[in-house]
Structures are given as C-alpha cells and as structure tokens.
Chain A
C-alpha cells in the first residue's frame, strides 16, 4: 500500500490569456513535490481544465527519436500550447493521432482537456507555459459555453481578490487574515502592477460567445467561432508566423525589445520554418509594424 501518498492537485479553470501570460513558477524541494504555475491574478495551478477550438495538432519527431504531438487550443482570450508525448497514456496518444487526422481533414474540433501545467525557460531566459493533457474529449457547444462561463466566473473571482489585495498590507499574515491566498502575494511581488482591463475585455468577449452573440465577440484578432457552421475551420490556419512573432514580442519585451535569436528559436519551437520567420521579421520591419531600436533587437512600433 502506498503510504503518505501525495494528494491529487485540484484542477482550476483558466482562460488562455491568464495562463499564457504567467511567468512565475513554484516547486517544493522534494523530488515528488508538485510544480505550480502562478498567474498574474494569483491562481496557483498544477492542473487546469482548458477548452476551446483545436487549432493545430501535428506529429513531430524530437531530437531523441521519440514522437511528440504539438498543438494549440484557442479560447476567446488566446491560445494554449500543449503537447502529447510518449509519457502520456496510450489513450491520450491515440486520441492525439485521431484528432490530427480529423483536423487534417478539415473537421472542426471543439475540445475539453484536463491538463497538467508546465513551465519552462529557454536558454535566453524567456519563460513559457504549456499544457500536457491527461484526459480530453470532443465536446458540444453547449458544454463549451457552460465551461466558458465557469471559467469566466473563476477568473472574475480572482480579479475581485486581486482588487481586494490592493488594500491589504503585503504580508502573509495580513493576506491570511483577509482570506486571500498566499499565491496572490507571490504574484503581486513577481508581476508588479497588473492591468485588469485586458482581463475585463476577455470576460466580456467570452460572455458574448457563451450567449451566442458571435458577431459581437468577433473583434479582430483573435477570431473565434463555435463550430456550428461550415466555416468554423477557418481559424485552423489562422494566425501564421507573423501573428506569433507579434505575440512573442508582446510577451517577452521587457522594455528594450527582444533579440533576433530568441524570436527565431521560439518560432522554430512552435513549428514555424526558420527562414520564413526570418523573412517575416524583415517584412514587418519594412512595413513599420516592428522597429529595431538597436541591431538584433525588435519591438512593436508605437501605433500612430
């Protein structure tokens, strides 16, 4: 009999924007201690339930010869990156295989996944989060819409806690007294000031979608449609390398821009062809979308 079993970590409900913008990581010192990602709103998650449109799923060989499915899942607020590898259950791998084929056939797949969270840092110091699904399935839109609302409520609860925390002395004791989680304090210390407005906009848009007011929710980008029509697969090849580069620069820019190397490495890691990404960077410089404040460093050009 296993003794002193490590308790199962509960799953939290997170929209992609909150998870994707997280850079803080926490892990206990023991070998089997769970690892957590702490988001800007203070959610401390080892496992999440994510849902959305399966946007990309591809099989690739890794350098050591094993195969890995890499994919992305879009919800109204952004993208989740996930991978399914040989460490997953056979069932999950089989599912990834089936979904890859269905996706290649152009079938829109709205999926729900219970996933472990992963945090990693590139050699350059860029921090990413991603998911490792444990169980997943295709869902109907009503289920998705309800999940969306559950996730919105959970996000709103965290936003309210965040707002409440602004009035509280930043010590563990004071947080405990007011019923705020310790992870929120860690988040406040790590992220500094956080603008809640993007989260508000995300929630409004998610509500529109759950309510079936797709047009209201269709602001460019991201484009999100529920698969109730034939054009739903359109977003499957939607954001290309330029969208990724913009997103990456947005995420990684700490004020002085992002290096050429970092951008290309990350683009390649996401499955883009290096040469294409390179050409795209040049294009965007030419068209004034990006600027290069010093050689090899890129940042978004100030709009107007």
Chain B
C-alpha cells in the first residue's frame, strides 16, 4: 500500500541510489508525510540526501594493481575526495596530540588544521583539518612543510587531509612557535563555526557523560556543559576532567570549535588551558541564566538545552507502533514574534488540545530540523510551563505573521516559515509563466515529460521563477500562481491571451520589463540547504519608491544637502 503510493518517488530515488531498498525509501516518504505533513515532492530532496549519504561510492575501475600517480597541487581546492598520494605545501596552523585506542593498542595521533598557499602574502588561503597517524615528529604548529603522500578524506561534505605513516614530511620553514589561539578572548556570539579560540564565560551547566564508541570497544568519560557570557551561551564537551562548578567564571584558551549540525560546540582537550578567571563586573549566574531564553529565529538544528517561550498554534496526535507497542507523539506548529516552526511532544499534553493557541515556556528542549525547519523536541511534559499571557503583545496574530528577515540572514540562517524578505530582482528565468505539472507528483514537466514519472499530460499551473540578490547574497524565488497573477495585475485568461499574443519567451521578456532591476519583497517560507537558499513565495510585491524623495534623503544623510 504505502509503497504503491510513492512508487514514482521511490523509482526516482533509486535512479540516484540504485542500492537503496525500495521499502525503506517508501517508508521514509511515508514518515515525512504522516508525521510531518511533508508531501513527497517536498521531501524528495531530503530523502535523496539521506540515501545518497548511505551509499558507498563505487570503486573506480583500476583497483589497487594500477600504480598510483602522485598528485601534486598548489591549493587544497584542487583536491577531490578520492585523491590518494597527494603532494602539497602547507602551513601548519595548529598541532595537537591525542591518545587513541587503535585495534586495542594505545597510540598517539596528532590532529589540527593546516592552510594552503603558505608563501603568498595576503593570498587567498583555505584551511582544512588534518589527522596525522604517524605521528610525525617534525610536524609543528607554525611551520611550513611539504607533505608527500597524504590522502584526502571526505566526510559529510567536509574535506580533510590524512597524513599516513608512510607520508613524508619535509620541513621547508621551521615553525615560529606562534600560539594559534590568540589570547584575546572573544564574545560567545562571535564564536566561529570552526577553529581554535579563547573565551571567558561562566559555567551554566556541567554534568558527566559518556560517549560510547561506535565499534563497541568501550566508552570514554567526558563532561558536557554550557558556558555563558552576556552575548550568549555555548555548549561544551570536555574530553579531560572538568571539575569547575556551576557558576564559576573560567577562561578557556585553545578550545576547539566543532559544529554538530548547525550548532557550534566547544571541545576541550589536552592542549586546552582552563583557569579560573576573576572579573567582578562579569554578569552573575542568575542574570546569565535568564539570557538563555532563545527565540524561534535563533533555533538551530542540533541545539540542546533550549529554553524558549512560544505559542502553540496547532497540535495533532499521532500514534505509531514500536516493537508491537502503541506509542504516540504530539506534533504541531509553534510561533513567536520572530518566526514559526514545529514542535514535537513525546508525552501527554499539560493542556487541553482544544484550547489552542496556548503560550508555554519550554525548558531544556532539543532541536532537530526537518527540511531545515527547526522542530523543538520535548521529551516530557515537565519541560512545559503554561503561561497565562505571552510576554509579547497578546493581540498579535502569530499564525499569519510574516517576520522581516534580511536576505543576508535568510541565506545564512535556518529554513523559516512565515518570513518576508526583500532585495533586487536580478533574473526572471525563462521557465516562468504557464507550466504543466505532473498529475502524479506535481513536478514541473519538460516537453510533456516528468523527470520522475515519464510522459504525462499534466495539469496547468502558473509560477514565476526569479532570482533576488541583496548585499552580496543571492536566493532563488518561486512565486506561486495567486501571487504571480496579483503582481502582474492579470487574471488567468488575461495572462493566457498575453502569452498567445507574444509567445512564451515574449511573456518572460514582458515580465522582465516589469520588474528586472527593481526592489521587490516576497513572503512565504524559505528552504536553505547546500544548494543555496530558496524562497517559496505566496506573497510578492514590487516596491514603489519616490526616487526624488529618496535622493533628497540620501543627500541629507551624506551631508550634501
């Protein structure tokens, strides 16, 4: 049954990932649809990605019998994930030693970051992580070396270099022992997604934890917790004993930032220096704890210990079977003045589902994301506190509220629902106008053929496919039928006669004359993934500005009046 319904999608996925199991793919689509209201055409990208990451790359023809060619490159960008026996000159940015159990044997390995293009001053440089399995004694931070015989490792789209035991390291310039982490502490909200940093913060939380090795070879004792300063908070993971109590102000130098999904986290290792710090002016624990309240716009996939006040606007109960036992889950929509997203509650609701909307304070929740849209996961009803009134204007209708987001933030941020953004329209794609959608999957047909389902008579639809740029970032915009017709000031029949009069491409040109180079604003939802940002717009406006007024304003602003 379920598998029939998604047959076309399953086929499409299998085209990309021939080894994936049809039943599993269908299950994935069913899960998106039933649990998260995501129709298969919207889930397609996500499902594909999941199965693609599961497939192993097909081994390339020759096998090990062919002699390897050394690949000599100047820049890391020239390397691909499959490169073996690489030769490159790099600067070693950081170098750390760590003990690791390898095949039951304790072994030292080194890891850190290196940087290409070491000779050119002010040149463009790329940084990669590396692991040194040697470890090589002549590898030191600050030195410039030639690495001969390294291999490239690609994991989850992130590239790193493996320096093997057989790799030769030639030191070209001795390391001037510059400490990598500058001793200037940085604000927590300025912490980059990767790198070594120094930070001063108060310990907000700290608890021992264990990490289980995936291969079942045992577990490692670690400490997890959270640091805060008055700009924000960040989680940490200490691989070494960490016995500073909650409330202690510490200075952490040489912490490594790693990102889990979209959430940066500090890693403390052997080379990290942690000391108690004294600053009478530093915000106290109570003040900082209040700052941990976050909002919908700030939610990131992978965050933990999230506190927020939100309004629950919709709730649906789903039941499912796990190991023959019936389980349930409440899932629905939430909103606050900064945006909308989803919530999943794995417990009985502490309120009546017919009394929506309700305002609740959520404590200690996790965040996952589906299609990039955050989903606050609440495991127990204890984490929810009912509030009488929201801390914002209670009259606000959050269900139809579109939050203004700068395009630079749209592109850099998570996917959003209920957003509005603006920019300059720089392209009207030629496939704007009347289109035919596949009657089965709604995918747009090309010459009467659906990419997934084959030949199809199709149903007619209208859309505009645009590109909007602002301040050095770009986003694709798909405008739906109603919004397209509204901005064109036409009904469907008027548009049809226009297209008959000037042709499909003539119509595209007509649209360009109307809007190319103009500031527009669009509202709807955004999807941000590794292919860039896309706005699915159900609202679209051409901004009208009085140039004369604007010019006078600028003149005043620039002091030229």
Contacts and interface: CB of A to CB of B under 8 A. Distances in A.
A153 interface: yes
Interface in B379-427: 424, 426-427
A265 to B, nearest CB: 32
A153 B545 CA distance: 15
B497 interface: no
Contact of B428 (A29, A135, A138): A135
Interface in B502-535: 505, 508-509, 512-513, 516-519, 531-532
Interface of A is mostly: mixed
Contact of A189 (B77, B122, B473, B550): B122
Contacts of B427: 114, 134-135
Contacts of A208: 551
Contact of B532 (A7, A134, A137): A7
B516 A1 contact: no
A210 B550 contact: yes
Interface of B is mostly: mixed
Q: Which of A12, A112, A146, A210 has the largest count of B CB atoms less than 10 A from its CB?
A: A146
Contacts of A8: 467, 474, 476, 532
A161 to B, nearest CB: 12
A146 B512 contact: no
B512 A211 contact: no
B232 to A, nearest CB: 18
B548 A212 contact: yes
A91 B424 CA distance: 22
Contacts of A149: 545, 547, 550-551, 554
Contact of B548 (A13, A28, A156, A211): A211
Interface in B178-221: none
Interface in A2-33: 5, 7-13, 26, 28-30, 33
B555 interface: yes
A232 interface: no
B361 interface: no
A207 interface: yes
B386 to A, nearest CB: 43
Nearest to B531: A5
A146 B518 contact: yes
B19 to A, nearest CB: 16
Q: Which of B426, B552, B555 has the largest count of A CB atoms less than 10 A from its CB?
A: B426
Contact of B516 (A10, A135, A210): A135
A152 interface: yes
The bracket for how many chain B residues form the interface is 35 or more
A143 B472 CA distance: 21
B255 to A, nearest CB: 19
B194 to A, nearest CB: 14
A1 B426 contact: no
A9 B469 CA distance: 9
A210 B426 contact: no
Interface in B216-248: none
Interface string A208-220: 1011100000000
Nearest to B73: A29
B122 A146 contact: no
Contacts of A182: 124
A211 B551 contact: yes
Interface string B43-64: 0000010000000000000000
A122 interface: no
Nearest to A171: B122
A95 interface: yes
B99 interface: no
Contact of A139 (B48, B74, B467, B517): B517
B155 interface: no
Given A8-B474, A9-B474, A29 B75 contact: yes
A139 B513 contact: yes
A127 interface: no
The 5 closest A-B pairs by CB, nearest first: A145-B547, A112-B517, A211-B551, A10-B474, A137-B512
Interface of B: 16, 48, 74-75, 77-78, 122, 124-125, 424, 426-428, 430, 467, 469, 472-474, 476, 505, 508-509, 512-513, 516-519, 531-532, 545, 547-548, 550-552, 554-555, 558, 560
8 contacts: A29-B74, A145-B547, A147-B518, A150-B519, A152-B554, A182-B124, A207-B554, A211-B552
Given A135-B512, A136-B512, A142-B547, 18 more contacts: A5-B531, A7-B474, A8-B532, A9-B474, A10-B472, A10-B474, A11-B424, A11-B469, A13-B424, A91-B509, A95-B509, A135-B427, A147-B517, A147-B518, A149-B554, A152-B554, A210-B550, A211-B552
